[in-house]
Structure 1
Amino acid sequence: MRQHLLRPCNYKTLETVAVHLAPKTPLLHNSISSSSSLYQPDLNVHNELKTLSATNINHKHLEQQPDFSIGSPCRVQKLIASQSDPLLAKEIFDYACRQPHFRPSSSSFLVLILKLGRSKYFSLIDDLLLSFKSRGYPLSPTVFSYIIKIYGEADLPDKALKTFYTMIEFGCTPSSKQLNRILEILVSHRNFIRPAFDLFKNARHHGVLPNTKSYNILMRVFCWNGDLSIAYTLFNKMFKRDVVPDVESYRILMQGLCRKNQVIGAVDLLEDMLNKGYVPDTLSYATLLNSLCRKKKLREAYKLLCRMKVKGCNPDVAHYNTVITGFCREGRALDACKILEDMQSNRCLPNLVSYQSLTNGLCDQGMFELAKDYVEEMTLKGFCPHFSVIHTLVKGFINVGRIDDSCSVLEDMLKHGKAPHSETWEMIISGVCEVEDTVKLCEILEKILKKDVRRDTRIVEAGSGLGEYLIRKLQASKSRRA
């Protein structure tokens, strides 16, 4: 198979090359002329190819033809770029390199590397690098950047790591950006975390200085793996090596502390961050707010929410929703209502999640009337409540015997074109059937059904409750007659 991929350039290959050099004509014997722009002006390609064909010259003999030149490096690059077959492009490149006094350019090498990489001919890329190294050809850092990218996209961390040392062998010192890209590729594989750490520690000896991003990459992976002590060690070494940490550096450590349930330590780190003049980003605050709420430290969460704006970071709807949900989860829905008011006074508009979290919390505490008010408010603002919110509210009113209010909720829902779930229908029909006043029963049913009901309301499925009611009435009537 390898011999097939590296087949020598023969007459057919040259013929293909010639066709690509003059692509506008369909047939080779009509298309190739000495005036082709990709050949030297004094070269008669057509006659040369005839000679090659007539003598059936072999590859070694071909190299002895001094008059046949494939052209300048720029022309070779254009020819390689025009090939759809990467193997043919490599044959053209190899043939050009065998010509006397021809020195390929880095750009033509890059074009070939990209073609081979897209087709996953990675062994051929290794062969080309070895060939360039043996001939002493230099390569630009850009070429190695693309090679690293190719191996990253192909999920080949070992080859990406090897590329770092290949650059050094070519006398090309890797940049911090290239080091970081290789580290990102390595740490994405659990088995290559240790090699990534070793590369990070040894990079300085090869003239590469890790920057803030380099430290952040390793700190993040160690925090995710629970090695918080190593992450802290890296963070402290940044100051010793005159590397300035950024907001992301602090956030990575805060996330690691919160993941270890050390939320107080994360808050202390935030204070240290603020004292040093950093402005935490929204994600840092979101991490702390979520952890504080889950640890039931609601007072601290609310204080942090209030401090955000003072410290230069305006809380958004996600921050408010986190705290609202935390208060509702702990049975403090009225405090959550206050947070919703603060939210609007700070010109942050509540969204659907805000209202649904609040109404669910109010229903859980039996404050159905207030929950109904918030449902009406959210519908006026164009939000359509989820059927689960309506179901909870209807169920709450029915459980306390407030059938009229439950029917009112359902009526408003139908008015906004929202079909309730079948279980909600069954519940409200069963509740209506419990009413002893037949006149009132008819009024309530008429009030509900006078609205336009779509097919997906599936009201027929709710008939079981009405059927049970009629059966009970029939049995009661028979017993009285007896």
Structure 2
Amino acid sequence: MIRRPIHNSSAASRLLTSPISLFFRFLFSSSSENNTHEPIVSNQNPKSPFGSPTRVQKLIASQSDPLLAKEIFDYASQHPSFRHSQSSHLVLILKLGRSGHLNLIDDVLAKHRSSGYPVTGELFTYLIKVYAEAKLPEKAFKTFYKMIEFNFTPQPKHLNRILEVLVSHRGYLQKALELFKSARLHGVMPNTRTYNVLMRAFCLNDDLSIAYKLFGKMLERDVVPGVESYRILIQGFCRKGQVNGAMELLEDMLNKGFVPDRLSYTTLLNSLCRKTQLREAYKLLCRMKLKGCNPDIVHYNTMILGFCRQGRAMDARKVLEDMSSSCCSPDSVSYRTLIGGLCDQGMFEEGKKYLQEMISNGFSPHFSVSNCLVKGLCSFGKVEEACDVVELVMKNGDALHSDTWEMIIPIVCKEDDSEKIQRFLEDAMKVEISGDTRLVDAGIIALGSYLSSKRQMKRMNVRERRRL
């Protein structure tokens, strides 16, 4: 049982008999009873009824209820001989912010200021983090000026984090620019990241001219741009369809000794291909190797697609063959794009060759690839070659589209087989053909086996007639 001490009726006496007081006394008296043989911790304040600041900090941090944590903090603050640690203020700010009790944070800040502790950047880092998570750009914006109010000069990292919060809300772009301009007046020097945050935001907002002016200011103020700075602008120019301006930036970048990253090259290759500047795109692809950035599968596939779209499948084939010299192997997208391009130009024999290569390299062709080949070969009367494609795909255990079956069945089978074929076909059509269909249902396997046996019989008959 907890005894309530008899004191006078002063305010201090009333505080010590409050529920929080009883909570503290119970907590720490229980702790001392359970550890009677342990020495007294040296950092405890003998005048404080609730132990050391570290102990109170742990108690605040352990509370799941942020309002109870705030009540404990306030109660301890009222004792004249107790002084909270800086960490207690930080923990409580984060706890209140994450629980949505933002109106109580200013009170904690005021107590921190009056406690005599020096104001640190960590305190405001926590505060900005709270407002960022709560999606409160206006509060984040005002935090910059609150730092100045506390006689603390914001660091570039604080400026950058506030700008990131502001630009993530479309309506705060101008406020971000306003803060950027006033930062220098308060002794905060923007760095490369500061400019990058703003340039990216204005490029995405379709304000390329402002982003480019910021890049110019960056150079004027001797802030060294990085690879990311150039990439942001290159992407901005390409998004606007100004690929020549993007290429000029690449040249400037290379002249200053920067090695462009893969994403910059990918952006440029995409834009050049869309602008049908395929010669320039291929030259850029070759130039990558000389500048220390080996092309990867994305770069090669971009070029293959670019050539195929312009009806230059033979050039696309050369790109695929060049891949081996860069130790980069084609993937299923490379083959699918190339075969589609060859079919579009009526080069079905070439397409069939690359289908065989694709399967031999362990890739499963999408049913659209085989359908395109079969349809093209049949239209030119090359029935045997079309059947070869069907058999090749079936042996690999891949699906054929219903259109493919409808084209090939009448060619291989006789009229008197119609009932049997209809039964197989009904089973085959039970399989739902989708974009990722790979394995063939038992009904389709039966149909494929039947068609294969019919082809073998036809071939035997042809050989027999030739012999006679």
1:333 aligns to what? 313
TM-score by length of 2: 0.81
In structure 2, distance between residues paired with 1:92 and 1:34 = 28
Structure 2 residue 238 is the aligned partner of structure 1 residue 258: yes
1:305 aligned residue:
285
Counterpart of 1:454 in structure 2 is 441
The reply to whether residue 377 of structure 1 matches residue 364 of structure 2 is: no
Equivalent position of 1:16 in the other structure: 23
- 1:141-290 correspondence runs (5 A): 141-290=121-270
Q: Distance in 1 between matches of 2:150 and 2:342?
A: 69
The secondary structure found in structure 2 opposite 1:15 is helix
Q: What is the CA-CA distance between 1:96 and the residue it aligns to? A: 1.1
TM-score normalised by L of structure 1: 0.79
Q: Does 1:399 find its partner at 2:386?
A: no
Of the three residues 405, 409, 423, the one matched with 2:389 is 409
Which among 298, 304, 315 is matched to residue 318 of structure 1?
298
Residue 186 of structure 1 aligns to a residue whose secondary structure is helix
Q: Which amino acid aligns with 2:299?
A: H
Aligned to 2:465: none
**Letter paired with 2:18:** Y
Contact 1:38 1:71 in 2 (8 A): no
SS state of the match for residue 104, structure 1? Answer: coil
Q: Which runs of 5+ in 2 are unaligned?
A: 1-14, 429-438, 448-468
Unaligned runs of 5+ in 1: 1-7, 44-66, 461-482
| Alpha carbons 2:28, 2:50 under 8 Å: kept | no
Deviations 1:269-324 (A, max 9, x none): 11111111111111111111000000000000000000001011111111111011
- Tell me how far apart the structure 2 counterparts of residues 240 and 396 of structure 1 sit (CA, whole Å): 61
- 8 Å CA contact 1:279–1:311 kept in 2: the answer is yes
Decide whether the 8 Å contact of 1:176 with 1:211 is kept in 2.
yes
Note the C-alpha offset of 1:82. Answer: 2.1
CA contact (8 A) 2:374 2:390 kept: yes
Match of 2:275 in 1: 295
After TM superposition, the structure 1 stretch with the greater mean CA deviation from structure 2, 73-82 or 190-199, is: 73-82
Query: Does the CA-based 8 Å contact 1:18-1:32 persist in structure 2?
Result: no
SS, match of residue 112 in structure 2: helix
Match of 1:16, as an amino acid? F
Q: Is the 8 A contact 2:97 2:130 kept in 1?
A: yes
- After TM superposition, give the deviation of residue 436 of structure 1 in Å: 9.0
Change in 2 beyond 3 A, CA 1:148/1:20: farther
1:132 corresponding residue in structure 2: 112
Deviation of the 1:421 alpha carbon: 2.7
Question: Shift of the alpha carbon at 1:32?
Answer: 11
Q: How far apart are the structure 1 equivalents of 2:346 and 2:17?
A: 87
Does the Cα contact within 8 Å between 1:223 and 1:231 map onto a contact in 2? yes
| Residue identity (%) | 59
Q: What secondary structure is seen at the aligned counterpart in 2 of 1:100?
A: coil
Instruction: State the AA in 1 paired with 2:318.
Output: K
Report if the CA contact (8 A) 1:21-1:79 is conserved.
no
Deviations 1:21-71 (A, max 9, x none): 47789xxxx97999896899898xxxxxxxxxxxxxxxxxxxxxxx66222
SS at match of 2:363: coil
Q: Distance in 2 between matches of 1:23 and 1:174?
A: 45
Cα separation, 2, equivalents of 1:341 and 1:335: 10
Closer/same/farther in 2, CA of residues 41 and 193 from structure 1, 3 Å limit: closer
**Structure 1 CA distance, aligned partners of 2:122 and 2:91?**
12
Q: Name the aligned partner's letter for residue 214 of structure 1.
A: T
Cα 1:159/1:23, change in 2 over 3 Å: farther
CA positional deviation for 1:400: 1.7
- For 2:343 and 2:195, locate their aligned partners in 1 and report how far apart those are by CA, in whole Å: 48
State whether residues 48 and 82 of structure 2, in contact with CA within 8 Å, keep that contact through their aligned partners in structure 1.
no
What amino acid is aligned across from residue 383 of structure 1 in structure 2? F
Report if the CA contact (8 A) 1:106-1:139 is conserved. no
Listed one character per residue, the Cα deviations across residues 434-461 of structure 1 (whole Å, up to 9, x for unaligned) are x7999xx99xx9xxx9xx952474988x
